[in-house]
Amino acid sequence: MRHDRWASAMFCHWEACPAALQRLLPAGLVVDTHEGKAFVGTVLLSEEGITPVVPLLPGWLAAATALSHHAVNMRTYVRPASGGDGGVFFFTLDCSQILPAVGARSLFSLPYRLARMHRGGADSAHSFTSERLVAVSASVSAERSVDDGPAQPAEAGSLAAFLVERYCLYNEAGLLLRSTVMPREAGLWVGRITHDPWPLQGARLTGWRSSMLDAVPGLPGALVDPDAAPLVLYSPGVSGIRFWWGPLEEGASTVGGVPDR
């Protein structure tokens, strides 16, 4: 898949207990930590210009069929138990367009749900609302302001880099993948993602109401302090995203976000 841009991304994170979080993960994945601390995040963003990567597909046709939508995801950070790069595991993915939600859920077994979403405001002061339309009720309403100054990539080794610089996505293989293109014994798949580092700015929440955590069984109890204010980071976005997937192979690695094979 190709995405033209992930835009206006707001990352909100809470510290979690690694042992409690581990109990919520599928077999084959282990909690990834920064200085011994685990984290759960709610990320709000817009995904623009989504098209499949098809050989010989004319550019005009790809542009004409491209989809864009708003999205909210609940996530944590993991590594394969067998060895490999740190990446993302999604507990939920809410989306404002039905086609991406149904397609990603059917093909990749990702936990997508259709939601009604709205973004508003200027770049420096922005609002985002989402209300899930199917399955377990969940909503979020956020207002934020962004610090002045240029957006810069996170310093290597920092907590900010740990939270946002993720170039792998791990998930359990669903029935469709198991019965078609994946090896029968494969339990997990990995998605490889490429893009430039996220440019980040400091941000503050000026309003926040969310039931997203409560919609994931066991997740509120995994937080160190469910009532704590989240750590907030903001990015104007990244462009030229590529995503491709395959069965998780033991010890497979990436260097700088690009697969080593």
Strand partners, 168: 192
pTM for the model: 0.87
Domain boundaries, the chain: 2-259
Percentage of the residues of the chain whose pLDDT score is greater than 90: 63
Arithmetic mean of pLDDT over the chain: 86
Residue with the bigger pLDDT between 261 and 231: it is: 231
Residues 9 and 45: beta-carbon distance below 8 Å: yes
Buried b (16+ CB within 10 A) or exposed e, 44-83: bbbbbbbbeeeeeeeeeeeeeeeebbbbbbbbbbbbbeee
pLDDT for 115: 95
Instruction: Convert the pLDDT of each residue in 108-167 to its tens digit.
Output: 788 999 999 999 876 656 899 999 998 789 999 999 999 888 999 999 999 999 999 999
Stretch 199-220: mean pLDDT: 94
Q: How far apart are CA 155 and CA 30, in angstroms?
A: 25
| Lookup result for tokens 């841009």 | 5
Residues 8 and 69: beta-carbon distance below 8 Å: no
41 alpha carbon, distance to own chain's centre: 9
C-alpha angle with apex 194: 62 to 95, nearest 5 degrees? 60
Residue with the bigger pLDDT between 47 and 179: it is: 47
Instruction: Convert the pLDDT of each residue in 16-56 to its tens digit.
Output: 999 999 999 999 999 999 999 999 999 999 999 887 654 45
pLDDT for 181: 64
pLDDT for 98: 86
3-state helix, strand, coil in the chain (%, to 5): 15, 50, 35
Whole-number Cα distances in Å, 234 to 55, 123, 154, 227: 35, 11, 11, 21
- Res. 261 pLDDT band, cuts 50 70 90: very low
pLDDT for 182: 64
Instruction: Convert the pLDDT of each residue in 54-96 to its tens digit.
Output: 445 445 444 545 688 999 999 999 999 988 899 999 999 999 9
pLDDT for 37: 97
pLDDT for 209: 95
CATH superfamily of 2-259: Acetoacetate decarboxylase-like (2.40.400.10)
pLDDT for 66: 61
